[in-house]
Amino acid sequence: MNVTAANLEETVRAVFRGAVRLEAAPVEEETEAQSWKPWITASVTFNNPWHCRIQIELSLDLAAQLAAALVRSPGPVADPELWQDAAGELANMMAGNLRPFIPNTLRYSVPRVVMGSGNAGRRVFGPSLDKTFLLAGHPMRVIVTDEGALDIAGIGPFSPN
Partner 1 sequence: MLALVVDDSLSIRLLLTRLLQSRFFTVETASGGLAALERLRQRPAPDLMVLDWNMPDLGGLQVLSQARAMPGMENLCVMMATAETDLSQISAALEAGVDEYLMKPFDERSVDEKLELLGFQVAATA
* Closest to partner 1 by CB, 13 or 122: 13
**Cα 145 from chain centre:** 11
- Do 151 and 73 touch, CB atoms closer than 8 A? no
* Of 56, 59, 61, 57, residue with least CA distance to 38: 59
Q: Which is nearer to partner 1, 88 or 156 (CB)?
A: 88
Residue closer to partner 1 (CB basis): 4 or 117 = 4
CB of 81 to partner 1, least distance (A): 7
Residue 23 CB, shortest distance to partner 1, in Å, is 14
d(CA 28, CA 14): 19
Give the other-Cβ count within 10 Å of 25's Cβ.
13
Binding site for partner 1 (CB under 8 A): 14-15, 17-20, 67, 70-72, 81-82, 85-86, 88-89, 92-97, 99-100, 105, 107-108, 110
Phi, psi (deg, nearest 5) at residue 46: -90, 135
CB of 21 to partner 1, least distance (A): 8
Q: Min. distance of Cβ 154 from partner 1 in angstroms?
A: 22
Smallest distance from partner 1 to CB 88, Å: 7
Between residues 60 and 93, which has the closer beta carbon with respect to partner 1? 93
Q: What is the dihedral sign for C-alpha 72, 76, 81, 87? A: positive
User: Among positive and negative, which fits the CA dihedral 91, 95, 96, 97?
Assistant: positive
Question: CB-wise, 31 or 97, nearer to partner 1?
Answer: 97
| Amino acid identity for residue 107 in this structure | R
